[in-house]
Amino acid sequence: MLPVLLAVAMAAASPALAASASDIAALKAKIAALSAEADRINDANDIKKLQRAYGYYLDKGFWDEAADLFAADATLEVGVDGVYVGNAHIRARLIADGGGNPGPGLPYGQYNHHMQLQPEVDVAADGRTAKGRWREIALLGHFHQDAEWGTGIYENDYVKQNGVWKIAKMHFFPNFVAPYEGGWAKLTPVSGDWKSATGKALPADRPPTVTYQPFPDNFTPPYHYKNPVTGQ
């Protein structure tokens, strides 16, 4: 970069450069290209905000606010429960996951902390869509009743509609929900249909697109990106 800056400094210092119409057109094009680059970085920031805001809404039982982050025809897929289609069904699923209380808010004693971590966000060159991988670490439970650890991976699609980024597809791959007492190391393999209680009570619109076994099996949710160095 240094030689470039030097060159520009020289160009700037030299009084010799008369700006022709084509010079101006070229600089205009360069500024437009740089502006688009800045917009893509800003898009990535907006998408991180969107996903992090989702976590903060879940934390405190703001189900409507969380559901509003999805596009109208968005999908939400959880584990092997299947695919929930559309904003209204997603909203119902989020409320059911939170224990059925419509909120906003949580009952006394409920803990529902869902941290959204380790983003790997890639915005399409045209700035209209994006993909993101995230890790969730959750602290869950009810005072004097139960306490759990939860963890899983998100592979999400985002779409920009009328200048606003929305969640187009959320795919959460839970890896485990483990009792605090004893922790994850004491978990035993699931057998048969391991649909969640919520998934059974509130059936999805479509079957799961991916079936897998959670921890203590080792399943890798597919990466949306190629290896950042080898490109493979």
| Interactions with another protein, residue window 30-89 (CB under 8 A) | 30-32, 34-35, 37-39, 41-42, 44-46, 49-50, 52-53, 55-57, 59-62, 65, 68-69
Q: Which of 76, 78, 154, 165 binds another protein (CB under 8 A)?
A: 165
Q: At its nearest, how many Å lie between another protein and the CB of residue 203?
A: 26
- For every residue of 169-226, DSSP letters joined together read EEEEEEEEEEETTT-GGG-----S----HHHHHS--SB--SS----TTS---PPPSS-
Query: 54, 94 in Cβ contact below 8 A?
Result: no
Nearer to another protein, 207 or 210 (CB): 210
| Contact (CB, 8 A) for 93 and 135 | no
**Residue 221 and residue 143: Cα distance in Å, rounded?**
32
- Which of the ranges 78-86, 193-201, 203-211, 212-220 carries the binding residues for another protein, by CB under 8 A? 212-220
Q: What are phi and psi of 169, to 5 degrees?
A: -150, 120
Q: Which two tokens stand for residue 68?
A: 């509003």
The token pair that represents 93 in the structure block: 């699923």
Contact 63, 105 (CB under 8 A): no
DSSP letter assigned to residue 128: S
Q: How far apart are CA 210 and CA 80, in angstroms?
A: 7
CB under 8 A: which stretch of 76-84, 99-107, 190-198, 204-212 binds another protein? 99-107
- 13-32 residues in contact with another protein (CB under 8 A) are 13-24, 26-32
Q: What is the CA radius of gyration of the chain?
A: 23
User: Which position among 5, 125, 191, 193 is part of the footprint of another protein (CB under 8 A)?
Assistant: 5
Candidates 86, 119, 127, 208: give the one binding another protein (CB under 8 A): 119
CB of residue 55 to another protein, shortest distance in Å: 6
How many residues sit close enough to another protein to count as binding (CB under 8 A)?
110
Amino acid at 124: A
Which residue from 58, 89, 94, 116 is in contact with another protein, where contact means CB under 8 A? Answer: 116
Q: What are phi and psi of 122, to 5 degrees?
A: -130, 120
Give min distance, CB of 129 to another protein, in A.
16
User: Which residues, numbered 184-203, are part of the site for another protein (CB under 8 A)?
Assistant: 184-186, 189
Taking the complex as a whole, how short is the minimal distance between the CB of residue 6 and another protein, in angstroms?
7
Structure tokens at 190: 């699931």
Among 85, 92, 113, 208, binds another protein (CB under 8 A): 113
For residue 217, state whether it binds another protein (rule: CB under 8 A): yes
Q: Which is nearer to another protein, 208 or 216 (CB)?
A: 216
